[in-house]
Structure formats: C-alpha cells, structure tokens
C-alpha cells in the first residue's frame, strides 16, 4: 500500500518506519524545513522502547540516552523521601525493554535519519498540507504545488491537527489552570550528586517539579508545573523569565532552587496546559489520526510520546493483517481508543494528586509508599507489537 502521513514528529516518523518495515510505501509531509531543538526531555518507558528496538534503533538510542535507575517522589520543602519505583535492570528484565531518558531533538534525529535511509519512505519537509480529499478507495493530498494519491492517510500532525479539524472541526480545549515550565541545566554547573540517576518528582501544594538527566547525563531536564491563571498561551516556544520561575518556587528545597538558578537562560520556556476529552471516533473511511492529533495527553504520566509510538506499531500491524484499508483503520482505532483514553484520564487525575496539601497530601504520600511500582505493571507490560494478534 501507499500510506500518506502528515506530521513528521515522533508519531509520524515512527509510523513511517513501522509501515515501511511491514513492506508498504510511505510519503510523509512535514511543514517545517528542518529538525530543531523544540522540546526538551522525553521519557521512553518499556511499552514504547520495545517498538523502537523492533525497528532496529537500539544502538542509536543507547548512544543518546540516559538510563535512570529509579523514579522517586520527594517532599517539596524538606526533600523527605516519599516513594520510589525501580527502573534500570529491574524494568529491563521484567518487561524485556529498557526505560530511557532522551532529549526530544536527539530522538527526532534518530528517527529522521532512520527514515531517510529507507528507500520506501519519501520525506517531504517544508511541505504544508493545503487540502485532503477522500475519494472512497483512495485519498488525495495537496501540499504546496504537488498532489499525491495514496491508499490511506494518517494525520499525525499534533495537538492542532489540520487533519482532525478537516474531519471533525476544531477541538474545544479547556484550560487546566496549570502553567508548565521547562528548562535545561548543564550537569557540569551542578554540585556532584545533587541530581540522582532518577526521575525525581517534588510534590508540593499547588505545584510540582520534575527533573532527570538526558543526553547521556550531560543535561538535566526540568519540568515545573504551577497552578496559576492570567496567561494562557498553548505553545512550546513561548519564552519565560527566570525571575518568574524563581518566584513560582520560592521557599522550595535548595536543590530545586539551584536547578532554577543554573538553568540555561535560552532553554527557559513556558506553556499553558489545556485538556481535551477523549475522542469517541478518530477517523473516517481511509483517513485516521495518530498521537496528539487524537489523544493529546497532559504531561503527568510521561506517556505522550509513548502513546504515539504504540499507535504507530498497532496501526502498522492492523494494516498488515487486514484485507482492506477501512476495516484495518477501524480495527486500529478500536484497539487503541480505551488505552489512550485511560492515559488521558490518568494524567488528568495526576494533575490534582501531585498538588494536594495538608491531610490530603499526607494520605497521598502513605498510599504512594504502600503502592511502590506495582501500579505501573499494566502500563509497561503492554506490547504494541502483538496486541493486534491477541485481542479479538
């Protein structure tokens, strides 16, 4: 088959690789001209890293990633240890795939280089999609001066998806009341052992702070979320001021303060977090959606990229097994809808849990300590490579 993909992000590139791996031809259209340093850290849990290894990317990932040994939750002010989940060798041996921390730009380069090396994949950068027409058994896409026909179209064009809008109209997001900051800190600027080899979450009243190593340990990625209103720009490229970030986390533990002070000024960005409900239907005919285009997820389970990678593997498997496109795309949607909706709801729930105070925070901490890492078993064990074989 000839698959058309709009969007050259993580989901779109992974879908292209999965489809080419299954023997199909792919034309991918991305509106930007080249990959940049947009975004920062990404956590790749075993449920998605096994897909990337299946595509032959293990060596390339190991060259760019950091392997955390555990997750940990700490008290915002006194750094008291609350709970932990083992990662590292424990996760690898249990689920058959590793847990990586990577810089988004590094992962994008790995995926782009891999796709560029596959003759069956045609990458069109600087190509904005102008129109899409479903011809029944074919789909027609017009981008700039060219028109291309394919057997199916995958809209992997992100949270502001043009394809989703063409199918279902514009989504109506709701502001969550949270502002997220991101920043990168060169590890060489920090005292030794200030940042442990872990994904660390500091829980506090009305806000939380996450940090972990990326780029083989050369950088510390920080994500800082604060409940506040009055600024509601949903963009990854809006600059932030260090003074405002320092004010947002005034009184927090010295480790948090040092990370903020040592952050690279050019890496300080902030964006308003908007929530979108799970979609009851993703596609029509021979057109479907993938990743943030159909299930944008708040960043409180670190599963946004993972869900897009899972989507890509399941979609390719459904197309490989089905005799016709429309049935394959419906099968893909049916297999993925409940899982991705569950991740959306869980992320929304964590937005509240992370920011509790007083007695509620005390009860949360006790529950987290008792639960350990067991709550992640169902998440990490999901095998996108075989789910199309095992579910009815």
* Catalytic residue numbers, as ranges: 212
Distance, CA of 65 to CA of 14 (rounded, Å):
18
Q: Is 23 exposed, middle or buried (0-12, 13-18, 19+ CB in 10 A)?
A: exposed
Q: Beta strand 25-30 with 121-125: parallel, antiparallel or unpaired?
A: parallel
Are 51 and 192 in contact, with CB atoms under 8 Å apart? no
Distance (Å, rounded) from C-alpha 239 to C-alpha 298? Answer: 20
Is the distance from CB of 290 to CB of 313 less than 8 angstroms?
no
DSSP letter for 90, please. Answer: H
- The residue count for the chain: 392
Strand partners, 211: 200, 222
Q: What is the distance of C-alpha 341 from the center of its chain?
A: 14
Which 3 state secondary structure label does DSSP give 177? strand
H-helix segments, 195-303:
242-248, 254-262
How far, in Å, CA of 267 to CA of 88, rounded? 28
From first CA to last CA, the distance across the chain in angstroms is 24
Which residue intervals of the chain are DSSP H helices?
A: 10-21, 46-54, 58-64, 88-95, 104-116, 162-168, 242-248, 254-262, 304-321, 325-353, 358-371, 377-381, 387-390
């Amino acid at each position: 088959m000839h698959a058309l993909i709009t969007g050259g992000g993580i989901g779109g590139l992974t879908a292209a690789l999965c489809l080419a791996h299954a023997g199909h031809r792919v034309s991918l259209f991305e509106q930007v001209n080249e990959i940049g340093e947009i975004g920062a850290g990404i956590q790749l849990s075993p449920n998605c890293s096994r897909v990337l290894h299946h595509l032959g990317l293990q060596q390339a990932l190991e060259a760019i990633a950091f392997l955390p040994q555990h997750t940990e939750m700490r008290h915002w002010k006194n750094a008291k240890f609350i709970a932990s989940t083992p990662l590292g060798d424990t996760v690898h041996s249990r689920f058959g795939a590793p847990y990586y921390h990577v810089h988004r730009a590094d992962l994008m380069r790995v995926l782009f280089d891999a796709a560029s090396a596959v003759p069956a994949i045609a990458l069109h950068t600087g190509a904005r999609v102008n129109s899409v027409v479903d011809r029944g058994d074919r789909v027609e896409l017009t981008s700039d001066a060219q028109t291309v026909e394919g057997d199916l179209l995958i809209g992997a064009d992100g949270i502001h998806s043009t394809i989703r809008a063409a199918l279902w109209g514009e989504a109506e997001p709701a502001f969550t009341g949270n502002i997220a900051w991101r920043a990168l800190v060169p590890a060489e600027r920090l005292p030794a052992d200030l940042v442990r080899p872990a994904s660390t979450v500091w829980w506090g009243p009305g806000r939380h702070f996450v940090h972990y190593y990326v780029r083989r340990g050369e950088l510390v990625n920080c994500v800082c979320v604060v409940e506040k209103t009055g600024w509601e720009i949903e963009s990854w490229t809006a600059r932030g001021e260090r003074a405002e970030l320092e004010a947002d986390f005034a009184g927090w533990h010295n480790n948090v303060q040092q990370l903020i002070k040592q952050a690279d000024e050019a890496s300080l960005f902030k964006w308003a977090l908007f929530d979108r409900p799970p979609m009851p239907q993703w596609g029509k005919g021979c057109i479907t959606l993938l990743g943030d285009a159909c299930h944008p997820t708040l960043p409180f389970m670190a599963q946004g990229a993972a869900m897009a990678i899972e989507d890509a593997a399941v979609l390719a498997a459904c197309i490989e097994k089905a005799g016709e496109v429309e049935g394959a795309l419906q099968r893909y949607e049916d297999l993925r809808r409940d899982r991705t909706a569950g991740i959306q709801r869980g992320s929304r729930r964590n937005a509240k849990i992370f920011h509790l105070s007083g007695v509620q925070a005390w009860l949360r901490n006790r529950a987290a300590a008792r639960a350990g890492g067991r709550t992640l078993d169902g998440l990490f064990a999901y095998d996108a490579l075989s789910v199309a074989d095992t579910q009815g």
